Amino acid sequence: MHLAFEWPEDLQPPLPGQFFTFLPSMVDSSAGIILRRPLAFAGFEPKKNTADSYASLSAIAHSIYQIRGPCTKALAIQQAGSYIDIIASLGNSFPYPNREEKVIIAGGGIGVGPMLFLAASLAENIAIPQDHIENISKPLEFSGSSKEIKLVFGFRSMLLVPSFKESIGNSPIAKTWERLLSGAFIATDDGSKGFHGTVLDALESLKKTDKSARFWHVYGCGPEAMIAKLAAFARQNSLPAHLSAEQWMACGVGACQGCVLPTRRGGYLRVCGDGPVFEADAIDWEACL
C-alpha cells in the first residue's frame, strides 16, 4: 500500500532511512489501540513551482506499507484528502558512501520502501546511463561517476513484488519506483520471479561475478532474519554495512527507552533515538531473532 501526504514548507525534507509516526485515529476504538505507528519514508517530492506563478504543488512525502494489523488496515481504506496526524522526521538516515565504494542496496519485503528512497536519492547525484534504464534485464548500475548502485530486492513470491502502476498510476514517484524496481535484481523465495532464493543467496551469487565486490558498501532494510544475515555477510567479507532496524515503539522520539536492540559490545541502543540505521557491527542482530 502507498501513503502520500503533504509536507509543510517550513519542515526540513526527510532523509532516506528516517521515519515518521502516525496517530491511528482512524482505527475503530474497539481495537483499543493507544500507540502511534512508525513508518519509513519511501520517497520525497520537493515543492514544484508551476508555470502559473500563483499555483505551486506542495512537497509530498511518500511511504509504502503492508497491511499487517488494525492500524495499517484502517489506514489503507482512508479516503484521499483525509487528515492524518504525523510526527516527522524521526531517527537518523543512511550515510552517503565513500567515493570509491560501490553501493549495494538490499531490501526485503516491505523493507524495500526506504531502500527505494535511498536509491533515488543517491541516483539524483549520479549520472544515470540511459542504456541501463532501457535494459531492464540487467541490475541497475549508475556508473556515471565513480559510484555504482546495485539494487537487490527479495520477496517471498512474485505476488509480493510491489507494483505502483496500478495504485498510483503515472505519478513521478511511481515512475521513479518502477524504474528502480525494474532495474533491481529481484529474488523470490519460491522462485516465482527472478532469482530463486533469498536476498543473501542473490548477494553471494553476485559477489562471485563482481570483480569489484571488495568495494561494496551494503545498505539494507528488511525482515529481522535477513538483516541478521546481511550483518554476518558484511562481517565475513569485511564490508561496511548500514542496516535499518525495526522494533516496537512507544514514544518514537528517543525518550522512553522502549524500542531498544542489544549491541555487540553489551548494552542497548534505541531504534528511534540512536537509529533506525545502524552500522551492521553495532547491533547483536542474532540476539534479536
Partner 1 sequence: MKNSIEDQNDSSGSFEPDLSIRIGSLTMANPVGVASGIFGYGEEYKELVHIDELGALYTKTVTLEPREGNPAPRLVETPMGLINSIGLANPGLECFLREKLPLLRNHKCAIIANIAGSTEDEYAMVIEGIEERLSLSEPLSKTGIDGYEINVSCPNVRDGGMTFGIDPVIVKRLTCSLRKRTAKPLIVKLSPNVTDIAEIARAAEEGGADAVSCINTVLGMVIDTDRMKPSIAKGIGGLSGPAIRPIGVAATYRVSRAISIPVIGVGGIARASDAIQYFLAGAQAVQVGTALFSNPHAPQEILSGITDWMKRHGVLRVHDINSMLK
Decide if residue 265 touches partner 1 (CB under 8 A): no
How many Cβ atoms from other residues are within 10 Å of residue 272's Cβ?
26
Cβ closer to partner 1: 122 or 249? 249
Decide if residue 254 touches partner 1 (CB under 8 A): yes
3-state helix, strand, coil in the chain (%, to 5): 30, 25, 45
How many chain residues are in contact with partner 1, going by CB under 8 A? 29
Decide if residue 231 touches partner 1 (CB under 8 A): no
**Mask 33-52, x = binds partner 1 (CB under 8 A)?**
xxxx----------------
Q: Which DSSP string corresponds to 33-63?
A: --S-EEEE--EEE--EE-SSTT-EEPEEEEE
Q: Which stretch binds partner 1 (CB under 8 A): 49-57, 166-174, 202-210, 258-266?
A: 258-266
**Mask 45-84, x = binds partner 1 (CB under 8 A)?**
----------------------------------------
Q: Cell 484528502: give the residue.
A: 81
Cβ closer to partner 1: 104 or 245? 245
Cβ closer to partner 1: 31 or 77? 31
**Pairing mode, if any, of strands 48-49 and 43-45?**
unpaired
Q: What is the dihedral of CA 3, 7, 13, 16, to 10 degrees?
A: 0
Decide if residue 259 touches partner 1 (CB under 8 A): yes
Cβ closer to partner 1: 101 or 246? 246
DSSP 118: H
Q: Evaluate whether 51 touches 32 at the Cβ level (below 8 Å).
A: no
SS3 188: strand
Decide if residue 258 touches partner 1 (CB under 8 A): yes
Q: Which stretch binds partner 1 (CB under 8 A): 42-50, 139-147, 219-227, 260-268?
A: 260-268
Taking the complex as a whole, the smallest distance from the CB of residue 249 to partner 1 amounts, in Å, to: 7
Determine which residue in the list 74, 84, 87, 133 makes contact with partner 1, applying CB under 8 A: 87
Q: Which stretch binds partner 1 (CB under 8 A): 28-36, 40-48, 49-57, 103-111?
A: 28-36
Identify residues 104-163 at the interface with partner 1 (CB under 8 A). none
Q: Cell 507494483: give the residue.
A: 163
Taking the complex as a whole, the smallest distance from the CB of residue 251 to partner 1 amounts, in Å, to: 5
Q: What is the dihedral of CA 107, 151, 120, 125, to 10 degrees?
A: 140
- Whether a cis peptide bond, with omega within 30° of 0, leads into 89 is yes
**Pairing mode, if any, of strands 185-188 and 195-196?**
parallel
Q: Evaluate whether 237 touches 227 at the Cβ level (below 8 Å).
A: no
Alpha-helical regions (H) of 141-210? 164-168, 172-183, 199-209
Q: Which stretch binds partner 1 (CB under 8 A): 26-34, 103-111, 131-139, 229-237?
A: 26-34
Cβ closer to partner 1: 42 or 272? 272
CA distance 283 to 261: 7
Q: Which stretch binds partner 1 (CB under 8 A): 32-40, 124-132, 197-205, 231-239?
A: 32-40
Q: Evaluate whether 283 touches 262 at the Cβ level (below 8 Å).
A: yes
Residues forming contacts to partner 1 in the complex (CB under 8 A) are 23, 31-36, 87, 247-262, 266-268, 273, 288
